[in-house]
Each structure stands twice: as C-alpha cells, then as structure tokens.
Amino acid sequence: MMKKVFFFLLIAMVLASCRKEDSHSDIPASDYRLSDDGLTLIRWNNRNTPRIDMQADSKLREVNTIGEGAFKGCEHLRAVTFSDNLKEIGAEAFAETDLSEALLFNSYSNVVLGEKAFYHSKIREVVLPKTKALPNHIFANCKHLKEVTFKETGLIGEGAFYACEALEQVDLTQAGVKGIGKEAFANCQRLKKVLLSVTMNLKPIGDKAFAHCTSLKHLTILALYPPYFEGDPFLGIPKATFPKIYVPSKPEDLIDTYKRDPYWRALADYIQVIP
C-alpha cells in the first residue's frame, strides 16, 4: 500500500515540476495582448522579440487566431513557430516583419489566411498550410522569398506573389489549385519554371498573372482541358524568349486541343508534349 502511495506522490511531484518548468519558460505576458478567452492574439507588444515558439508557451499554444496587424512592423522578428491549434491569421498580421529564419506551421487542419498577411516581409522560404485560398497580396513584395511549398491551396488570389523577385519555381501539381488571380506572380523576375496541376481544367489564369516574368523558361500544364485566360496572363514576356509550354502526351490529341483552343492558339508555336 505504501509503495502505491509513494508512486502516486512521485507522479504528482513530476507533473508539478513540469508545470513549474513550463511557467518559467513562458514568454512574459507583458510582451503580448490576448483576447479575454485567450484564443486570439490581438497584439504583440514587445517590438524587439527575435523569435517566438507559440507551441512551447503554455498560454500561446492555446491561441487559434492571430489578429489583424498583430505583428505588423516588428522588424526584429526573424522566426515564428505557430501553435498546433492555429486556424486563422488576420490581414497584415506579419506585414513588414523580418521572418528571415523560419516560419513553421504545425496545424494539420485548414488555416484561413488574411490579405497581405506577410506583405513586404523578408521571409525566405515557407511550407504553406492547407488552405482554401491564398488571399490577395499575401506575399506581395516579399523580395527575398525564394522557395514556397504548396499543400492544398484552392485559389491563388490577386497579386499573391507579386514582385517576389527571388522566387525561381512554382510547383502547384499537388496543390489542387482551381484558379490563379490577376497579377498573382507578376514581376517575379527570376521565375524560371511553373507547373500547373490537373485541377486547372477549364479554370482561369488571371490577367497579367505572369506579366514581366522574363526569366520564365518552362510552363507545364497537366490539365486535360485547357485553362482559360482573363486578359493577357503573359504580358511583357517577349515572343523571342517566350517559355516552352508542355502538356501531357495522353490523350494523343491533347496537344492539338491546346493549339486549337481560342485562348492558347496564339501560343501554338510554343506548345509541345512533356518530354
């Protein structure tokens, strides 16, 4: 009997010790402001914070919403690890921050992202969470953004990656994208390769979506029914250096379908079967 009592006392002491360690490792509560229910991070007060691990903090790990403009202008913020509970990031939440080291999503569910959420930040790479849409200008003018990994994405909004000058490749083959908005990748001057998924069947490619992407060499489209254009997606790309457009080899008449399509026939000379 005494052994059992001692065992349970030992467990209680260990748990108490863990809670104590958690509280000691927590970020000072004065550094931020939460909603009354503790689920929304309204404002980050400490403008000099370099790194935040929300999942490692006993209060911040409960946060599921980051409010509009919560971190806007935190120029010293270089890395963020989000909580497992994250469901929403508000408009301009991380606009004009650094984020040059890391941006880590732990959530396995869909995350709602706000317009300009990471606008004009110094983010270099990101593995996106599942989301129904990338909103307008979410990463616009992120001039250091070189690598983006897309999960389930849905729609890519207007100007989502506008002027991301370091971005070299866009692979949407696993993203389930069903539409690309106006100027989504315009002025991505180093963009060389774009791959569009089969889910782009009869879906829109917005006006100026790839405008002035003068380094673009390869555009691969897996859609078996040609996407349609809204305006001129490739404005400002000289015909002399226009990218090769690759389509699947099966069905055998697919290449002819693209070449005869009213939106693609002006680009027929650049269309060929995937090698």
Residues 66 and 44: beta-carbon distance below 8 Å: no
Q: 247 by DSSP, 3-state: which?
A: strand
Q: How far is residue 127's CA from residue 125's CA, in Å, rounded to a whole number?
A: 7
| Domain edges within the chain | 33-273
pLDDT for the residue numbered 108: 80
Residues 153 and 134: beta-carbon distance below 8 Å: yes
Q: 175 by DSSP, 3-state: which?
A: coil
pLDDT for the residue numbered 17: 47
Residues forming beta bridges with residue 104, ordered by sequence position: 81
Q: 174, 175, 173, 225: which is closest to 204 by C-alpha?
A: 225
Q: How far is residue 49's CA from residue 74's CA, in Å, rounded to a whole number?
A: 8
pTM: 0.90
Q: 76, 171, 173, 183: which is closest to 140 by C-alpha?
A: 183
pLDDT for the residue numbered 11: 54
**Class of the CATH domain delimited by 33-273:** alpha beta
pLDDT for the residue numbered 154: 92
Q: How far is residue 125's CA from residue 77's CA, in Å, rounded to a whole number?
A: 15
Phi-psi region of 258 (alpha: psi -120 to 50; beta: other; left: phi over 0): alpha
pLDDT for the residue numbered 25: 78
pLDDT for the residue numbered 145: 98
pLDDT for the residue numbered 125: 96
Token readout for 223 is: 């859609």
- C-alpha dist (Å) from residue 273 to 63, 129, 255: 49, 32, 7
Any residues with CB less than 8 A from the CB of 229 and at least 6 apart, and which?
204, 205, 207, 263
Average pLDDT by stretches of 10, the chain with 275 residues: 50 48 76 98 98 97 98 97 96 97 86 98 96 98 97 96 98 96 99 98 98 98 98 97 98 97 98 97
Would you tell me how many other CB atoms lie within 10 Å of the CB of residue 190? 15
